[in-house]
Structure formats: C-alpha cells, structure tokens
Amino acid sequence: MPYDRDLADRLRAVLGGWDDERDDDLGMVDEKPMFGGLGFMVAGHLAVCAGSGGGLLVRVDPAEQDELAEADGVEPMRMAGRPSRSWVDVAPDVLVDDEVLTAWVERGVAAARTAPRR
C-alpha cells in the first residue's frame, strides 16, 4: 500500500509554510520514498515520514523518546522487530488536528537539524 497521500499533502502544507510563519530557514525540503512511505528530508536528514496507514514516523531526540512513547497512539518505531531509539510512530487518530500534526513536524525538524552533517 502506498503512503497516505492526504497526510503527505498536510505535511507539505506545514513544511511549505514554515518560512512564511516563522523567522527561520529550513533550507531545502526534499521528499523521498522510504520505509514504504514518503519521507521528508530537512537539512539533508529525514525528519518525518508519511506512512501507508495514515501514521507518521517522527525523528526525535533519543533522550525524549521514552517519555513521548508514553502518550496514547505513540510508540517507538520498530525496524526488523527492534525498537528504534530515535524514531516514534504516531497513530493516525493522534494526527487529526492540524496543530498536533504541526507540533510533531516541528519535533522532527528540530531533531533532524541536530543530526551530524555528513
């Protein structure tokens, strides 16, 4: 199943309007298919990814992941059955409100910006 196109459009709206609403420069935002979804790269690093079922993968500060995963509808992302320390999977029902989606995108962008340059 391809990524959720409605969620991808909402992510584009959040990321595309960033400079209009904030005195901040994201730099180039790139889209790339990955993890069976559509990833959004910021500053050369993956920040968020629209999944096939309407959920969102979000890059997070590893020090905050345990606390974030305690919220309803949020859990560590699993790769090959192992939990990630720097990614969470946010359920679609958590993302209904645009303000909530924006907050998760902001968290992902902040974490992507702190990732080491390659």
Alpha-carbon distance of 49 to 34, in angstroms, equals 8
Contact 53, 4 (CB under 8 A): yes
Domains, the chain, ordered by start: 5-114 (3.90.1150.30)
Q: Is the pLDDT of residue 35 over 80?
A: no
Residue 84's pLDDT is what?
87
Q: Is the pLDDT of residue 65 over 80?
A: yes
By the 10 Å C-beta count (0-12 exposed, 13-18 middle, 19+ buried), 18 is classed as middle
pTM: 0.88
Residue 36's pLDDT is what?
82
**Average pLDDT, integer, range 66-89:** 91
Q: What is the pLDDT of residues 78-89, one digit of tens each?
A: 888 898 889 999
Q: Is the pLDDT of residue 43 over 60?
A: yes
Cβ neighbors of 17 (< 8 A, separation 6 or more) are none
Residue 24's pLDDT is what?
55
